[in-house]
Amino acid sequence: MGIEVAVEGLTMSFGKQNIWQDVSLTLPAGEVSVMLGPSGTGKTVFLKSLIGLLKPQRGRVLINGVDMVGGRERDIYETRKLFGLMFQDGALFGSMTLFDNIAFPLREHTRKRESEIRRMVMERIELVGLLGAEGKLPGEISGGMRKRAGLARALVLDPQIVLCDEPDSGLDPVRTAYLSQLLIDLNARIDATMLIVTHNLDIAATVPDNMGMFFRRNLVTFGPREVLLTSDEPVVTQFLAGRREGPIGMSEEKDAAALAAEADSAAGRPDGPRVIVPQLEPSPGLPPRAAVVRRRERVLGMLDTLPPAARAAIEDTYARQAAARTVPTPSPGGGA
């Protein structure tokens, strides 16, 4: 099972530029979480801070009792082995075949025999649907295939925490849909804790158990997916609707005068219905996601602390699931 990641009061700056401040959240063990936010809000910086590649000025990231910010370098190095990291562009070595790219972490960090390495690499290649392409160079395959190769490499050391940095960038809607299903299927297979940074609203709507969003150097919200999907926060509703009206501007956040003018022009305009799309389920033949049972218990336990709209959405979802389970199955051949 995956491992819980506890973030406490994290603050990051580069020189005088504050990236985000006082970020606190918990990635529940084995669940899939998504982090949204406009470009330039520090989502990739946040991923690199979790794994200890960047050092925030304040705060802690606790994993199995190890602080990835202020802990001993030796402990951080060992804990980093629990992670698999999928970069935006796949970060593949152009001169290596896909097989050698995926085998690289095993050859670099383990003493396994080549026969064992081959078995493990081919398992991951099959897992991401790249059988037959293992001998190709990255330049000989499509961007979507490079993404999947990068994911296979992230999984080759059997991580308990998987971080995906904009896995959909450069992909068309069809490939993005396949990738979304692949991420859910992976969670069903390996039960790892997963955090996906993305701008893609389809991934955000259908993949995660939990959702968060960065804006104006702050974490706007983080929690069960229903909290963000039913939120009335202007920045959240603007982002999810993909519209120009709202706090997010082209280059930076808008000033008060621009927001007031928009509010006047939008007065009386009804918002569209807030529909929560059902979360993807594992492909046929795969086991159910173990995270679903754990999440249900966790979310129902915190129901009284959630906003009314989120609480109603959660109750409705679980009521519909319960009703679906109690629908009688027709007997073979029907009959009276």
Q: Both 174 and 298 in a single domain?
A: no
The token pair at 15 is 């020189």
Q: Which residues contact 122 (CB under 8 A, 6 or more apart)?
A: 131, 134
Q: Both 143 and 4 in a single domain?
A: no
Cβ–Cβ < 8 Å for 1, 163: no
Q: What is the pLDDT of residues 109-145, one digit of tens each?
A: 889 999 999 999 999 999 888 999 999 999 999 888 8
Query: Residue 223 forms beta bridges with which residues?
Result: 211
Contacts of residues 120-128 at CB distance under 8 Å and 24 or more positions apart, as own/partner, are: 120/156, 121/152, 121/156, 124/152, 124/153, 124/155, 124/156, 125/98, 125/99, 125/152, 127/152, 127/155, 127/186, 127/189, 128/152, 128/155, 128/182
pLDDT at 242: 85
Alpha-carbon gap, residue 315 to 294, rounded angstroms: 16
Q: Which residues contact 123 (CB under 8 A, 6 or more apart)?
A: none
Q: Both 8 and 148 in a single domain?
A: no
For every residue of 259-291, DSSP letters joined together read: HHHHHHHHTTPPPPP---PPPP-PPTTSPPPHH
Across 263-295, b (16+ Cβ under 10 Å) vs e yields eeeeeeeeeeeeeeeebbebeeeeeebbbbebb
Cβ–Cβ < 8 Å for 59, 10: yes
* 246 located within any domain: yes
Q: Both 147 and 18 in a single domain?
A: no
Q: How many domains does the chain have?
A: 4
Asked if residue 267 has pLDDT above 50, the reply is: no
Q: What is the pLDDT of residues 268-299, one digit of tens each?
A: 444 544 678 899 999 999 999 999 999 999 99
Cβ–Cβ < 8 Å for 240, 249: no
Q: Both 153 and 190 in a single domain?
A: no
* 282 located within any domain: no
The token pair at 44 is 């990739």
Segment 147-161 shows an average pLDDT of: 92
Q: Both 177 and 307 in a single domain?
A: no
Q: Both 11 and 54 in a single domain?
A: yes
For every residue of 16-55, DSSP letters joined together read: TEEEEEEEEEEE-TT-EEEEE--TTSSHHHHHHHHTTSS-
Alpha-carbon gap, residue 213 to 294, rounded angstroms: 23
Q: Both 195 and 102 in a single domain?
A: no
* 280 located within any domain: no
The token pair at 294 is 């754990």
pTM listed for this prediction? 0.87
3-state secondary structure of 110: coil
pLDDT at 109: 85
Q: What is the pLDDT of residues 21-73, one digit of tens each?
A: 999 999 999 999 999 988 888 898 999 999 999 999 999 999 999 999 999 99
Side-chain-facing half-sphere of 20: CA atoms under 13 Å: 24
Q: Both 44 and 193 in a single domain?
A: yes
pLDDT at 327: 65
Q: Both 197 and 219 in a single domain?
A: yes
**Per-chain mean pLDDT for the chain:** 88
Q: Both 15 and 43 in a single domain?
A: yes
Q: Both 62 and 22 in a single domain?
A: yes
Range of the domain at 131: 91-158
The token pair at 246 is 């709202």
* 283 located within any domain: no
Torsion-angle region of 19 (φ positive above 0: left; ψ -120 to 50: alpha; else: beta): alpha
